[in-house]
Amino acid sequence: MPSRYWTAFFTILVVFLCSSSDACKAGQSKCRVFDVTRFGAVRGSQDNSQAFLAAWSAACRFKGKATFVVPKGTFKLSPVQFKGPCYDGASPSVKIRGVLQALPGSSDDNYWIKFSDLNRLSVGGGGEIDGQGADSWSGNKCNKECKLSSTTLKFDGVRNSRVARLSLLNSKAFHIKFHRCDNIDVYGLKISAPWNSRNTDGIHIAVTNGITIRSSIIGTGDDCISVGQGSRNVTISNIICGPGHGIRYENEMDVVGLVVKNCTIMHTANGLRIKTWPGSSKSRASGLLFEDINMIDVSNPIFIDQKYCPGNECSSEPSKVQINDVKFRRIKGTSRTKVAVNLLCSSDAPCSNIELDDIRLECSAGGECKTTSSCTNVKANFSGVQIPSPCL
C-alpha cells in the first residue's frame, strides 16, 4: 500500500489519541476509571479473563460515568462476554490502550470478545487486538453451511454506539461482527490479515439497522466488508480495501438501503459484488447505491452473481432473491479480468432497474487487452461513458 495512505491515517490517529484522556473532567464528581490491572490483570502469558470480567462488572454497576481501561502492555485473554444492560441504560466507555492477544488453541465459543445488550457504548483507545488466528485458517474451508472459528470482536444487541480508533489483526475468522445492532458509527479502524487467511472478513453485518462504516483501512483474506441478511440503512465510505475479496452484499433475508461511496479497492478477488446462492428462498435486495469507487487491479470489479456456488454442491433450483433498484455510478480503474462488468441474475427472479452511469474500467494487463461486459436475466440502463461497452 502506498506510504502516503498510512502516513495520513496514522497522523489522524495520533491527533485523536493525544487529545483524549481517561481522567475525569473537572467538576465531574460521579466518574471513575476501572483499570483492569487493579482487578488482577497482569501483563504476560496469564489468562486475564476473570480480571477483565470483574472490572467490567464493577464499571457496569457504577452509578455515574465509568471508563473501563486496558493500559499499555500485552494482556492474554480467553473468550469473554461483556454483558448489559448497565446502570441507567448507559454503558462504560471502553479504552483499549495496550495489546490484547487471544490464547492459542480452538474454542467452542463463536466469539473471542463479545459485547451484548448494551446502549451508548464506546469502544476505542488506539490499542491493538490480535486474534492469533494463523493455526485456525486451514480449518476455515467453509461454504454455505459450516462452523467457523471465533470472531474477534462481536457486537450483539448493541445500539446507539461507536467503535473507533483500533487495530485488529489475524482473527481466527471474522474480525468484527455486528448482529442485531442499531445506530452504530464505526471509523478509524485498521484491520489486517494475510491474503490467504480464509474467512477472515474485516467487518460483517447482519440483522442490523443504521450503521455507518467510514475512514478505515481493511485488508484480509476474505471480504473487506460483507453485508448479510436482514440489514438496512448501511453506509460505507472512505474505505481503503485490499487485499481480499472486496465489498460484498449477500442476501437470504430482505436487505434495503445500502450506500457504498468514495472507496478505493485494490488487488482484490472481487470489487463490488452482490451474491445469492442457487435455491435461495424468496426475498429482496433493493435500494443499493455504489458510487465514486476507484478500482486498482481488481478481478470482477462489478459483479452480480446469483449462481454463487464455490463448492459446486448447490441446489439445481435458481435463486428466488429479487434484486432491483441498484445503481453503479462513477466506477473507474483497472480490471484484472477481461469481463469487468458481469450481471448474472436469476432466471426465476430477473434483476430489474439496474443502473450503470459513467463506468470506466480498463484492462490492467495493458497491451491489446480490452474489457467486456456480460448480462444474463437483467433489465439494465446505461448512461454516460461506458467502458466496457454495454452488454444490452
Question: 149 versus 384: which is more confidently predicted?
Answer: 384
Rounded distance between C-alpha atoms, residue 309 and residue 300, angstroms: 16
List phi, psi (to 5°) of 6. -65, -40
Question: What is the mean pLDDT of the segment spanning 184-195?
Answer: 97
In this prediction, residue 10 carries a pLDDT of 32
> What is the number of residues in the chain?
392
SS3 57: helix
Catalytic residue among 156, 201, 222, 223: 222
Range with the lowest mean pLDDT among 48-57, 116-125, 322-331, 363-372? 363-372
> Which residues lie closer than 8 Å to 106 by C-beta, 6 or more apart?
136, 149, 172
Rg (CA), the chain: 22
Q: Is the pLDDT of residue 2 over 90?
A: no
Give per-residue pLDDT as tens, 238-267. 999 999 999 988 766 788 999 999 999 999
245 flagged as catalytic: yes
> Which residues lie closer than 8 Å to 18 by C-beta, 6 or more apart?
none
Structural domains of the chain, with CATH? 30-133+150-173 (2.160.20.10), 181-309+318-391 (2.160.20.10)
Amino acid at 372: T
Catalytic residue among 175, 179, 245, 267: 245
Question: 137 versus 72: which is more confidently predicted?
Answer: 72
CA angle 359, 5, 338 (to 5 degrees): 30
Q: Is the pLDDT of residue 161 over 80?
A: yes
- Confidence (pTM): 0.90
Give per-residue pLDDT as tens, 197-248. 989 999 999 999 999 999 999 999 999 999 998 999 999 999 999 999 999 8
88 flagged as catalytic: no
Between the alpha carbon of residue 58 and those of residues 123, 139, 274, the distances in Å are 17, 38, 44
Question: Is 363 within 8 Å of 334 (Cβ atoms)?
Answer: yes
